[in-house]
Structure formats: structure tokens, C-alpha cells
Structure 1
Amino acid sequence: MNFTIVIVSFAIVGIVGLICGMGLGVASEKFKVEVDEKELAVREALPGNNCGACGFPGCDGCAHAIASGSAPVTQCPVGGKPVAQKIADIMGVQAGEAVKKVAMVRCSGTCDKAIKRAKNVGPTDCNQMSVMPGGGDLGCDFGCLGGGSCVKVCEFDAIHVVDGIAVVDKDKCVACGLCVKACPRHIIEMTTYKAKYHVRCMSQEKGKAVKDVCQAGCIGCTLCVKECKFDAIHMNGNVAQIDYDKCVNCGACARKCPVGVIN
């Protein structure tokens, strides 16, 4: 065996490895990404649900926005006040008052109030029913299908189907928004925890057409609009809509509503 060739081969491999190592070291130093220690700390303080309810692509995006100053320390709705306080301490600012939000289902069509046009013997999942001919068995094309697609995505046991419609437990809801995204009829909205009154109907049909399919639907009479002294409720097409920034929870609209759809 020619040991000279073996030694030269090892030497060449070693030199090449040394050169590659030095090159990688120089490259890593030249192209390294600076790590923001505050951003890492903020990310650690966030709950890690990656739900997107904050408006950013997951907790990493939220942490970056908060650390860079483009989002407030109260940006995470899931973490609420405790997380906001931790992040405020990291950022060296005042936490301020985080407005707690919760999901709200805009439908009152319980089994005894909503009229069914047929007996559903097919799929029971909302997303499947919504693409069926006729859109499920409900007479109302805007109401809760009751299949529980929202229930399946909720990680906090905060929403259940009760008497045919989805109902949110305000005290368990963390405003992650997953149920809002899951509802194929888009009848779940985010509102403030302190709001006491909601128009629980999304039908855009007119009075008689609403009454023909549901005894608890908004008939578009506008009495609530006329009754409100704070300009906090208006018509959105044929259904009333509350402006929660103006609403003072006086309950005048609820008392005036002839079908009791504001509650």
C-alpha cells in the first residue's frame, strides 16, 4: 500500500474541511439574523394557541408586532389581562385596559321557534349541510344549522348546541375566533363581554317571510332604531345591528322589540 497517497488524501480532505468550516463561520457571522431579546420574551409570555385571533399569523407574528411597537401589549385576546400585564412588564410600559371580547351567535331559532322544511336524513355537520341542496332542513336560510361545526373547533369548551342552536358560554370564551371561522353561515360574531344586548338574528328577509320560517326573527320594523336615544342601533338591510361603541346597555331596544329578538 502506498502510504504517501493515503496521507496526501487525508491532508487534502482535512484542508478542504478546514476551508469549508472557515467559510461557513464567516457566512454565519455575515448573514446572521439579530435576535430581539424582548421579542423572544414576549413570545414566551403568549399562550401559544397560534389561533390568529390577534390579527397576525400566529403567536410569532404577534410577538414581533408587539416587540416592534406596531401592536399594543393587549393585542392577544386569548391571554387577556394576565398576559397583557406580563408583556407590559417586558416592554416597560403600562398595560392599559384590555377589552375582553367574546363570541356571540346571532340566531334565536330554537327547536320550538324555527320551522323545518324537511327532515334531515343526511349529513349533520354544518359545513356539509350548507352545501346540500336547500342548505339543510331549516326553513330559514340565515339561521344556525345546529350541526356543531363551531363546537368541534373550540378548544375551550365554550360553545355548545342547545335546543338546536349554538350557545356561547361567555365566561369560558377566550375570543380565539375559531368558531367564527368555522361557521359556514357566518352568524357568529365577536362582541365585547360587557355588552348585554344583541340582535340574535341575521335574516335579510322581510317581515312576513321571516315569520313564515321563524317566530324569533327580526322583522325589520325599525322600532328599536326609533327607541334608541344613543344612536346605537341601525338597520343593516332588513335586520337591526347594534353599534357596541355607542350602546350603553340601557335595554330600551330590547323592551321595544315586538318579537323579543334583542336579548
Structure 2
Amino acid sequence: MNVVIITVLTLAILGTVAALVLYFVAQKFKVFEDPRIDQVEEVLPAANCGGCGFPGCRAFAEALVKSDDISDLNCPVGGAETMKTAAGILGKEVAASDPMIAVVKCNGTCENRPRTNKYDGATSCAVAASLYGGETGCSYGCLGCGDCVEACTFDAIHMDEKTGLPVVNDKCVACGACVDACPKNIIELRKAGPKGRRVFVSCINQDKGGVAKKACSVACIGCKKCQKECPFDAITVENNIAYIDYNKCKLCRKCVAVCPTGAIHEVNFPPKKAKPATEKPAAPAKTEATSNENKTSSDIKNKEE
């Protein structure tokens, strides 16, 4: 009986000592966590998409709390309202940012870009890009395997069976997952624009004009007509390809009109009104006096004969 009592007391004393040691160690190495992190995380969309540049909403919330200046931080899924709410919790100011959307900078449809070979391998753009340049004469264009579709968690992009190209819809939150997934870098995040209107060059082919045009009928040929036409200095042409700076572009669409290949796309603009056909002025009607005068002249001529 004494042995049992001694054993129980010994274990109780050891347990108490161990608990005290653990308690003091925990207090010594306790890591303080700002309670505002939980508050900010609650207002974030919990998408964990990585579009903000951090591995999840929790990490982004920590960055917001710890940063003195959050003007360069943005949650593309939550948008301006979410950032405004988070900034209010932290007592900080955040710069207003324009909504962004992904655009596909390739118009190499089956009609515009003839196939020269057939790819028979893994259905992955990443794999195909590591093996060869593609099924057409353009080594810069879309491979059509849909890596961007698989990367999107918002059902914002799908492959068009008719054109063989990805199409972005209004569900896009500009998380950038499709941008990272595309091995050809044909997807870019651009300003969604007022009323969803935007103008961009739908081509990234850097070959010289003749080669690019032969591979794709709607390729940018680097002719610089758009650059010369733009009144806002928004277009630059480098490496045989034009690029429109969406921060400078005023959506005047003058560049669209002068592009000889149709490589510049205008999205969500109303159709242009057709100019009324100019009618040719009608021939002046002969007056009665003129008719009589002609008859008199004819009679005089007959008499003389």
C-alpha cells in the first residue's frame, strides 16, 4: 500500500514540476501576435489565390498589419472596398486602385493561323512549350492546351472550341493565376477600363513583319502606324511588336482604324455608326425657256439650210 501511495505522489510531483517548467518556458518564448491580424483576415475574401503576392489571406493580413505604408498592397479579389475596410481597421490610408482583368494577347485562331503540324503528347502547355514551338508557324502564340483554365479557381476563363483560344469572362478577379500558368506569356493583367472598355494589341510575335504575317494573318507587323497616329504617346514599338500603355491610353481608338492587320482589339465599345452615303447632286432640270431657245436655234439652222 505504501508503495502505491509513494508512486502516485512521485508521479504527481513530477507532473507538477513538468507543468511549471513548460509554463515558464512558454512565457519566456511566447510570440505576441497582433489581434488586428484576425480582424483583417475576417474581412478578406478567403480565396487564398495568391493574387496579392502572398501565399494566402492570412499572410496578406499579417503584411497589412506590419507594413507602415500599404499603398503598394492590394487584394485583387476583394477589390477597392475590401482594401478600404482593412485600412479602416488599421487606421491607415490605401490608394484607390482601378479594377484589373486578364486579357489574351493572341488572336491566332484556326482561320488566322494555319496549322503546319499536329502535336501528339501530354495535354499541357508547359510540356508542349518545353518540347517545341507549336503547331503553327508562330512560335509565340497560344498552344491551346488549357493550362490557364486549370489554374483559374474562379471559373473566369475557358477554351473556345471554335477558335482554340482561351476566353476571359466577367468573373475574372485578376488574381494572376492564369498569367503564371501560361508558358508563352500571352496573358496580361490590364485595367478593366470604364464600362469594361479597353484597347490592346492582341499579339506578341516578335518576328519581322513579313515572317509574322505569313504565320498569322492578324499578327502585328511592327509598322508603327499606330504609334504615329496615337495623340497621347501611349504606344511604343519594340522588337517588331506594338504595346499600348493602359495608363496613358484614352481609348480614342485611332490606332484601331490604322492597323493594317487588325492586331489591335477594342473590347465592349458600341458599334460605330455608319456614315450616311453622300448623294450625287441631281442634274439641273431644263427650264421651259431653255427648251424654247433650243427649238428656236434648231429652226433657224433648218431654214438656213
Fold shared per TM-score above 0.5: yes
Q: Secondary structure of 1:167's match?
A: strand
The one of 140, 150, 156 aligned to 1:142: 140
Determine which of 19, 35, 38 is the counterpart of 1:37: 35
Larger Rg: 1 or 2?
A: 2
Q: 1:124 to 1:73 in 2, by over 3 A?
A: closer
Higher mean Cα deviation, 155-164 or 203-212?
155-164
Report whether the alignment pairs 1:90 with 2:92: no
1:44-123 mapped onto 2 (5 Å cutoff): 44-68=42-66, 69-72=68-71, 75-93=74-92, 96-123=95-122
Question: Partners in 2 of 1:98 and 1:244 — Cα distance?
Answer: 13
Which residue type is aligned with residue 48 of structure 1? A
RMSD: 1.9
Q: Any unmatched runs of 5+ in structure 2?
A: 266-305
Deviation at 1:204, TM superposition (A): 0.9
Moved more, 177-186 or 70-79: 70-79
Cα separation, 1, equivalents of 2:238 and 2:189: 17
1:94 Cα offset (Å): 5.5
Distance 1:52 1:138 in 2: 33
Equivalent residue of 2:199, what SS? coil
Partners of 1:41 and 1:94 in 2: CA distance: 17
Which of 216, 219, 223 is the equivalent residue of 2:218? 216
Q: Is the 8 A contact 2:70 2:94 kept in 1?
A: no
Deviations 1:12-32 (A, max 9, x none): 221111111011111222222
Map of 2:290 onto structure 1? none
* Cα offsets for 1:77-109 (capped at 9, x unmatched): 111133223313322456653311111111011
Contact kept in structure 2, 1:231 and 1:246, CA below 8 Å: yes
How much has 1:61 moved relative to structure 2?
2.0
CA distance in 1, matches of 2:125, 2:138: 14
- Alpha-carbon deviations, 1:169-198, whole Å to 9, x = none? 1x2100111101111111111111116111
In the alignment, residue 38 of structure 2 is paired with which amino acid?
L
Could you tell me which of 21, 28, 47 is aligned with 2:26? 28
Q: Which residue of 2 aligns with 1:168?
A: 168
Kindly indicate whether the alpha-carbon contact (under 8 Å) linking 1:62 and 1:75 is maintained by their aligned counterparts in 2: no
Render the CA deviation track for 1:133-167: whole Å, top value 9, x for unaligned: x3331221000111111111211121112211112
Which structure exhibits the higher relative contact order, with contacts defined as CA atoms closer than 8 Å and separated by 6 or more residues? 1
What number of residue pairs does the alignment pair up?
259
